[in-house]
Amino acid sequence: MLFKRNSRPYLGESGNYFRTCVLLAMGPAILAGRVALADPLPSWNEGSAKQAIVEFVRAVTDKSSPKYVPPEQRIATFDNDGTLWAEQPMYFQGFFAFDRVKTLAPQHPEWKERQPFKAILENDRKALLASGEKGAVEVLMASHAGMSTQEFERIVKDWLATAKHLRFNRPFTDLVYQPMLEVIAFLRTNGFKTFIVSGGGIEFVRTFSEERYGIPPEQVIGSSIVTKFEVRDGRPLLVREPKLDFIDDGPGKPVGIQKFIGRRPIAAFGNSDGDLQMLQWTAAGQGPRFMFLVRHTDAEREWTYDRQSPIGRLDKALDEAQRHGWTVVDMKRDWKQVFPFK
Amino acid sequence: MLFKRNSRPYLGESGNYFRTCVLLAMGPAILAGRVALADPLPSWNEGSAKQAIVEFVRAVTDKSSPKYVPPEQRIATFDNDGTLWAEQPMYFQGFFAFDRVKTLAPQHPEWKERQPFKAILENDRKALLASGEKGAVEVLMASHAGMSTQEFERIVKDWLATAKHLRFNRPFTDLVYQPMLEVIAFLRTNGFKTFIVSGGGIEFVRTFSEERYGIPPEQVIGSSIVTKFEVRDGRPLLVREPKLDFIDDGPGKPVGIQKFIGRRPIAAFGNSDGDLQMLQWTAAGQGPRFMFLVRHTDAEREWTYDRQSPIGRLDKALDEAQRHGWTVVDMKRDWKQVFPFK
């Protein structure tokens, strides 16, 4: 209203210099207020999930509400795989690791006869699964270690720019969830600081988090391998070593949150049992809380999976959500649109 | 100028709604610009150090400068002990550890006969030093582990509220450097994100970083012990375990910077050889850089120490600063005032 035609004379006619200054300073806030009047979550169908998000944000930002939370405590954490982007038929970072093994194979002729590499090179899913966790760690180290942090960033960015998800024939970073992009933006507009807390690799997620989610690298928490400072030919480097440093999954998520953020989130968003402890940790804080789970219920537009899925299993966390009344989003029912592309 | 009396008619007379909106939106920026015209570093004597800081900030924030750096890349990292607050005659966290051992002694009668605890209880400096690094780690674990993260925060805050530095008879948090508070504020006003990168304990520094430096916990990096997620009586806890997790000192500083921030600082502030690799890492990036060392040269107002000091030794880093032309601040010459109190 303030910016409509009839408001201008008010500014001009006022002889009050101070009031003019205050109005000038308030301009952006008023503009932001107008933006908030539009639907902040247009890709969400009307329903209890959307309503819960909007009401929570309204309550914690309303200074007259008993639920008001000062801006510096408005910390929101988001799982990545299955919460902000898709994770089927396998975590996307897994595709990166496999492609990387194939790229490096000519330099490793011994891989032709050595599991789990042989299985990857021959697309032998069964042999790969048989190699178990030990095999997975070997693949991880072969594909993620042995280079500098800068080289790794370039390798991942090159891969993301060219690799495609088979089902959608699109870059993996196209498979982010439009409704969740809106939640992130809505929270940020309302003074929240948004963090990713991913079981995936911290440096992997950082290569696209700022561009895709508007979340800068310093607000990304994830699993990591050890890096070591070295000076080579007078040039300092951080070298990625083949050694696990931190697993940011399950009970590791609250540990990662405390380590990196140092305060407890008031809102946490996940989709699987790997997010349970993050949600418990968030729920156990004082004051208003918001715990949120995405349920994958849409085989047509995305995938349907929960209690039995080896990837993104949602079982115990679903029981706990139902017991405590956490917000469970039904993708099929609650999301008007799933991905940014149509 | 825009806010003086003669500017109001311009706003009022303009029939251009769009231009009015732009001016309204610009209000805060213009106000910020006016603030910057005042001396941002009033506790600094005029000289090359002050000039170097001001010129660096001006260059990287001036869009018409070839040295312009976009805001998201304006990362500045600060060592804490000896750079933002004093560190003599011993790192202040050491005093906390000793006081904590004394507080806990009644629950540990065996400490009366066991080193290094016996030495602390008897104020026997020589015996304490003889216990070496192994003894130091034992004291660290006895004083810093075995409680939840929340309990630890309360213990440290209680200590900071009551303990005093003997020489100044003041709380330790009074011994922050006024000129450095001004540098932090000046950088922040100019769109920098300021981080602490401390060899001290991350959770220790976090208890006062926001109040003293305006640096929130999520922008504090430091050394850490392992924490473990546990559910006790249905309540989730993070328990501090007696096991080192990460040493954020020397070559650990670039590692910590990459881990927590994920991008390279363009400005780094330190005071000792423990900051050398952070400064090297900062210097090795592309584009404009600012490397800064505080030199403790003022026995009267603070302390004088450098190449031989067991605490905060400045030797190799000083050579490297001189070789590369990094900014070295001479406390006695460059600082008009040292502490916020007179």
pLDDT, one tens digit for every residue, chain A (342 residues): 233 333 333 333 333 444 444 444 444 454 444 444 689 999 999 999 999 999 999 999 999 999 999 999 999 999 999 999 999 999 999 999 999 999 999 999 999 999 999 999 999 989 998 999 899 999 999 999 999 999 999 999 999 999 999 999 999 999 999 999 999 999 999 999 999 999 999 999 999 999 999 999 999 999 999 999 999 999 999 999 999 999 999 999 999 999 999 999 999 999 999 999 999 999 999 999 999 999 999 999 999 999 999 999 999 999 999 999 999 999 999 999 999 998
Neighboring chain B residues of A282 at a CB cutoff of 8 Å: none
Is the pLDDT confidence value at B14 over 60?
Answer: no
* 3-state DSSP assignment of residue B308: coil
CB contact under 8 A, A259 and B3: no
Query: How many beta-carbon pairs below 8 A join chains A and B?
Result: 136
Query: Is the CA virtual torsion A254, A258, A261, A264 positive or negative?
Result: positive
Taking contacts as CB-CB distances below 8 angstroms, the residues of chain B near A220 are 262
User: For residue B6, is pLDDT > 50?
Assistant: no
User: Are A229 and B277 in contact (CB < 8 Å)?
Assistant: yes
Best B238, B264, B291, B320 member to test A by mutation, with max A CBs in 10 Å, is B238
Q: What angle do CA A286, A290, A294 make, to 5 degrees?
A: 150
Q: Which chain A positions have a beta carbon within 8 Å of B224's beta carbon?
A: 259
Q: pLDDT per residue over B27-37, tens digit each?
A: 455 444 444 46
State yes or no: cis peptide before B116, omega within 30 of 0.
Answer: yes
CA A34 to mean position of chain CA atoms? 28
Neighboring chain A residues of B227 at a CB cutoff of 8 Å:
255, 258-259
Interface test with A, best of B229, B248, B320 (most A CBs within 10 A): B229
Q: Could you tell me the pTM of the whole model?
A: 0.89
Nearest CA in chain A to B3: A21
- Whether the CB-CB separation of A324 and A276 falls below 8 Å is answered with no
Q: Least CA distance to B216: which residue of chain A?
A: A72
Q: Check B236 against A277: CB less than 8 A apart.
A: yes
For residue A224, the chain B residues in CB contact (below 8 A) are 259
pLDDT tens per residue, range B272-289: 999 999 999 999 999 999
Question: Which chain A residues touch B149 with a CB distance below 8 Å?
Answer: 258
Instruction: List phi, psi (to 5°) of A14.
Output: -65, 130
Axis crossing angle, helix B17-37 with helix B178-189, rounded to the nearest 10 = 160
Tell me the two tokens of residue B47: 């000289």
- C-alpha A68/C-alpha A48 separation (Å) is 21
| pLDDT of B66 above 90 | yes
B33-62 mean pLDDT: 89
Selected residue of B218, B282, B286 to mutate for chain A interface (largest A Cβ count, 10 A): B218
ipTM: 0.88
What is the per-residue pLDDT for A7? 34
CB B205 within 8 A of CB B231: no
Whether residues B228 and A255 touch (CB distance < 8 A) is answered with yes
When CB atoms are compared, the residue of A3, A28, A258 closest to B149 is A258
Partners of B210 on chain A (C-beta within 8 Å) are 72
C-alpha distance from A25 to closest chain B C-alpha (Å): 5
More confident residue, B14 or A191: A191
Task: Name the pLDDT band for B38 (thresholds 50, 70, 90).
Answer: confident
Distances (CA, A) of B23 to A9, A23, A34, B34: 15, 11, 17, 15
Q: What is the pLDDT of residue B22?
A: 43
Task: Report the length, in residues, of chain B.
Answer: 342
- The per-residue pLDDT for B129 is 87
Alpha-carbon gap: A283 to the closest alpha carbon of chain B (Å): 9
Q: For an interface test with B, which of A202, A227, A229 has the most B Cβ atoms less than 10 Å from its Cβ?
A: A229
Residue B307 has pLDDT above 70, yes or no: yes
pLDDT greater than 80 at residue B24: no
Distance CA B106, CA A310 (A): 52
Mean local confidence (pLDDT), B116-141: 92
Hey, how many other C-beta atoms are within 10 angstroms of the C-beta on A162?
9
What pLDDT sits at residue A37? Answer: 64
Query: Which residue from B27, B227, B229 is facing A277, i.e. has the nearest CB?
Result: B229
pLDDT the model gives residue A129: 87
